[in-house]
A and B are shown apart, each in its own frame.
Chain A
Amino acid sequence: MTRYNTAKLSMAVFLASEFVFFAFLIAAYVYFYGAVVQGPRASNSLNPPRTLVFTMCLVASSATMWMAERRLRNADRREFRIWLGLTIFLGAVFVFGQATEYAGLIAKTITPARNLFGATFFTLTGFHGLHVLAGLISLSALLGLTFRKNFGAKEISGAGAIAMYWHFVDAVWVVIFCLVYASVWI
């Protein structure tokens, strides 16, 4: 007998481990925040308003994912695809924003080797970016599956698990944005 949805329960436990992983990276950023006295740091190298725009895209993608899930529950596969596609688009826009941001920083020779700001910033946001990429791959695979005939209960619970992952990655970004970018405004 199965008591809970296997895919969602597994994802919940996995996300608990991810929570710890990011907690350690975030703690390292905070720990070294005061150690950077010269050279590039958040206040003189980052562009928070620009990142805020891309952050909005990622937050919006959580909303579209939520809409997509609702359509799935109503067995409306065509609308599900539209909302899912929108989610993937918004996630891709976010990754584009991060890629161009990285390119700009590296052009100014701000790298992990430059100082502790570089090391902690790229490690934290880089691992988050990899998580967004993994999410985009999963969402795209899900989109591909909707075109198959036998899209059934198994795929629907899988979609629920991927949605949990996506919301989690978004939530982690909100924390990172507040800590790394928005703190510049204080």
Chain B
Amino acid sequence: MSGVPFPSTALDSDLPAHARSTWLEWISTVDHKRIGILYLLTTLFFFGVGGIEALLMRIQLAWPENTFLGPDTYNQIFTMHGTTMVFLVVVPLLLGLANYLTPLMIGASDMALPRLNAFSFWVFLFGGILLYFSFASGHAPSAGWFSYAPLSETGYSTRSGLDYWALALLGIGVGTIATAINLIVTIVNLRTEGLTFRRLPLFVWMVFVNSFLIIFALPALNATLAMLLVDRQLNAHFFTQLGGGSPILWQHYFWSFGHPEVYIMVLPAFGIISEVIPVFSRKPIFGYRFIAASTVGIALLSVGVWAHHMFAVGLGHAWEYAFGASSLLIAIPTGVKVFNWIATMWGGSIRFTTSMLFAIAFLFTFTIGGLSGVTFATVPIDWQVTDSYYVVAHMHYVLFGGTLFAVMAGVYYWFPKMSGRMLSESCGRIHFWLMFIGFHLTFFIQHILGLDGMPRRVYTYADHPGWAAMNMISTIGAFVIGISMLVFLANIVMSLRRGAFAGDNPWNAWTLEWATTSPPPEHNFDSVPPVRGLRPLWDLAHPGEQTP
């Protein structure tokens, strides 16, 4: 057996607190809350970088025949924008929230594997740095965020940008898988007494299902990247026609990761919405089991729809109909959720906080994005609009109007828990309206541009009727989003210094994270309240009453 346990107090330095290095504490931390905050700050930084890249593109596209960015630079910028937003912002942003919140919501003191957790964060950070180091090597990757072969092969991408891209994504992928393992084990193993899977907060449910998607999707990407690297470094021909290789295999492999990835980027956002809407409607969530079960349905369907990204390849009608049908099916469990959220708000006494405004905006924009998604599943429509700005509009409605609006709802909701201070509501409203208006200005018009035939990923365009005006509107919208982000940053900085104190439970919410101080102590809970239903803090405040 192990020897005499080391007294835990012996680990504390005898030095007074101020003499210890705060930097060193943050760098060496294995506390899930600090790691969660590190994730959030890092993704905020990369969001700024990716956002500046977006603005550069919008300046270039503001009017026809513009020469602000050359074609080669433009290719690098849109590749880096997409790669950054997918791999360095949306996914790690959601993992950061999951990291911070999951142990608190299940009444645990930390993740199951705290050191692995720190490892995940650091490989993610260094993966991001490696990706951006490609600029220093002379040429960033420029084959788009899905790097179709053979464009991504040495014959067409001769410089090392693509190698950095593949290596960075491999590192980030390993970190993501490690986090998913950690989250699954934490949720299975460390739930507090009485917290059964039928009482699990929906955010945790979504994170749980999401982690399984990561386990099954990210290794596919890693295997694909490994093959690309073998091609590029050892002169093999997996994905080049030369020597019998198959560029189509790249598409199959990439999208069998890439489509589950789309849901990896949105399921935790569904979780945030499922926490925020009931609290600000003062009603329990409507159809708890349907929301949880439909998530499992989405996850299962999402691994069987990848070829809907490939309708333009010419796979044959039988395949196209099959994948079109399976893609249409996803609308059902997603629709179930949207109806559940609306039904939760129905008849509730809704409090229009900034968080709730973002949640309602999510419902609105995500539904539009979902509907344009359904049009893509219809094969002939896909043939018409594939690779046009209609795709760009759809994708941003889902990922920006969907996930990012939900994350903002989550940030306004949980910031008091993380910092102990409230974000300014008046500042928040300005942020919300600027972001909402800016978003729709930027992206709604892109549907029309796409239907009018403007291809995506071109650095400039001829002066077709209406295109200049529509692109200018889109550019103006992008800058409005940029300004809204500055308001958001200012709100964070000011509120951290002067915000009102939050107290333990400023929203009168019901899940366990609100049963401890804000911010929580390192061990999270002095005592975890008993869990007898879906809303433990409501039960605590109403002893003897049945949960409605």
Contacts and interface: CB of A to CB of B under 8 A. Distances in A.
A14 B224 CA distance: 18
A21 B226 CA distance: 10
A37 B244 CA distance: 9
Contact of A24 (B181, B223, B235): B223
B184 A13 contact: yes
A123 interface: yes
Given A14-B181, A116-B237, A149 B3 contact: yes
Contact of A3 (B189, B223, B249): B189
B192 interface: yes
Interface in B154-181: 177, 180-181
B185 interface: yes
A21 B222 contact: yes
Interface stretch (A63-71, A89-97, A107-115, A163-171): A107-115
A119 B113 contact: no
A6 B113 CA distance: 8
Given A113-B234, A153-B2, A20 B244 contact: no
B224 A154 contact: no
B510 interface: no
Given A3-B188, A13-B185, A28-B238, A20 B215 contact: yes
B253 interface: yes
Given A35-B244, A116-B245, A111 B226 contact: no
A24 B190 contact: no
Contact of B227 (A4, A123, A150): A123
Contact of B190 (A2, A25, A119, A153): A2
A6 B185 contact: yes
Contact of B112 (A10, A22, A154): A10
Interface in B228-244: 230-231, 234-238, 243-244
A118 interface: yes
B371 to A, nearest CB: 32
Given A2-B190, A4-B188, A13-B184, A119 B112 contact: no
A52 to B, nearest CB: 27
A122 B231 CA distance: 12
B237 A119 contact: yes
A112 B230 contact: yes
B249 A28 contact: yes
B132 interface: no
A42 to B, nearest CB: 15
B235 A113 contact: yes
6 contacts: A10-B112, A13-B180, A13-B185, A16-B216, A123-B238, A154-B2
Contacts of B181: 10, 13-14, 17
A101 interface: no
B218 interface: yes
B223 A21 contact: yes
B2 A24 contact: no
A123 B233 CA distance: 12
B193 interface: yes
A32 interface: yes
B1 interface: yes
A9 interface: yes
Nearest to A116: B244
B220 interface: yes
Interface of A: 1-4, 6, 9-10, 13-14, 16-18, 20-22, 24-25, 28, 31-32, 35-37, 111-113, 115-116, 118-120, 122-123, 127, 149-154
A127 B189 contact: no
Contact of A9 (B116, B185, B253): B185
Given A112-B230, A123-B226, A13 B215 contact: yes
A29 B112 CA distance: 37
B246 interface: yes
Contact of A119 (B180, B219, B222, B230): B230
Contacts of B230: 112, 119, 122-123
A87 B98 CA distance: 40
Given A17-B181, A24-B219, 7 more contacts: A1-B192, A13-B180, A20-B219, A111-B234, A115-B237, A120-B238, A153-B1
B272 to A, nearest CB: 24
Contacts of A112: 230, 234-236
A108 B1 CA distance: 54
B112 A6 contact: yes
Which 4 A-B residue pairings sit nearest by Cβ, starting from the closest? A152-B2, A119-B236, A24-B223, A113-B235
Contacts of B180: 13, 17
A35 to B, nearest CB: 4
B236 A24 contact: no
Contacts of A9: 185, 188-189
Interface string B243-264: 1111001000100000000000
Nearest to B215: A17
Interface in B94-115: 112-113
A6 B190 CA distance: 10
Nearest to B183: A13
A20 B216 contact: yes
A173 to B, nearest CB: 17
A122 B229 CA distance: 13
A118 B238 CA distance: 10
A113 B245 CA distance: 12
Given A10-B185, A14-B181, A123-B226, A113 B244 contact: no
Given A14-B181, A24-B219, A153-B1, A36 B253 contact: no
A127 B188 CA distance: 31
A28 B193 CA distance: 46
Given A21-B219, A113-B236, A119-B230, A6 B244 contact: no
B380 to A, nearest CB: 29
Contacts of A123: 226-227, 230, 236, 238
Nearest to A152: B2
Contact of B243 (A17, A20, A115): A115
Contacts of A120: 238
